[in-house]
Amino acid sequence: MFVWPEAQTQFISEVVQSAPSDTSLYFVFQGNEILLRFDPQGQWQPLSTLADDFDKQKTQQHFMGRLAGVDCFAVETDLVNEKKGNLRMLAGKTDNLMFSIAGRATQILDWYRTHQFCGRCGIKAVSHKVDRAMVCPECKIHSYPRLSPSIITLVHDKNRILLARNHMFPKGMYSTLAGFVEPGESIEETLCREVKEEVGVNVAKLEYLGSQPWPFPNSLMLGFLAEYESGDIVLQEEEIADAQWFDVADLPDIPGKVAISRWIIDTYLERMGIDV
């Protein structure tokens, strides 16, 4: 079975650094933008040392855990003169493992930046000693990094699959359907509601495939296959620009291999005997 992503088996998450490793990796950001330095092959890598000038400009640093025994840190600095850009710019220019850890870093930094004060009583919060949490010394409320679970699903009907494009997609690009879980809802209810809302069809026989953290800004994508049951395509026009059934042997442009949407599509194509 295809395992997504490999980061889940190679990276060990920790909050407290027990003993420093000989080498470290630093995932360096300014605000939501990541430091862009590419090797001669055009591949992005985290920094293996934090130069003095970076260290002096550091505004926050968090130990994230270990990758094959090497300590990994999320760092925010004020490096105004360094080239930096959106994390999406790493897609295709680093492996899924590094992309995943960089995504973890930006979410931890953003959480810390936005939870400096208690949301209930407003006083200054402090870091929990052993957990990834900000704690109010007064009312003891704990604020953990926020995650937004979402479903992402491929609706299929034998040799055809339903793909859609939203108004922001590049021209000609189609993908799977996705949507956020609402309070009080099961994942299965979310999936059926989102598919019905966005394209008007009913689905059954849901099959969970796997998940992917998606740090734009804090989604956890839960990937499913869903079998078509009934109904014609009716677009939710504010959100969906177009949706169509496509023959599995004749697909439009679809997302790159860094995204779980592509993995879900490829998984189904393989089952239908199509090379991916």
Which residues sit at the interface with Zn ion, rule CB under 5 A?
118, 120-121, 136, 138-139
Least distance CB 125 / Zn ion (angstroms): 8
Give 136 or 209: the residue with its C-beta nearer to Zn ion.
Answer: 136
Give 142 or 271: the residue with its C-beta nearer to Zn ion.
Answer: 142
Least distance CB 71 / Zn ion (angstroms): 32
Least distance CB 14 / Zn ion (angstroms): 27
Give 120 or 142: the residue with its C-beta nearer to Zn ion.
Answer: 120
Sign for the CA dihedral angle at 165, 169, 172, 178 comes to negative
Least distance CB 130 / Zn ion (angstroms): 20
Residue 151 pairs with which residues in a beta bridge?
179, 222
Give 118 or 203: the residue with its C-beta nearer to Zn ion.
Answer: 118
For residue 265, give the nearest of 248, 244, 250 by alpha carbon.
Answer: 248
Q: How many CB atoms lie within 10 A of CB 77?
A: 21
Contact yes or no for 75/61 (Cβ under 8 A) = yes
Instruction: Tell me how far apart the alpha carbons of residues 132 and 272 are, in angstroms, rounded to a whole number.
Output: 43
For residue 165, give the nearest of 175, 152, 151, 154 by alpha carbon.
Answer: 175
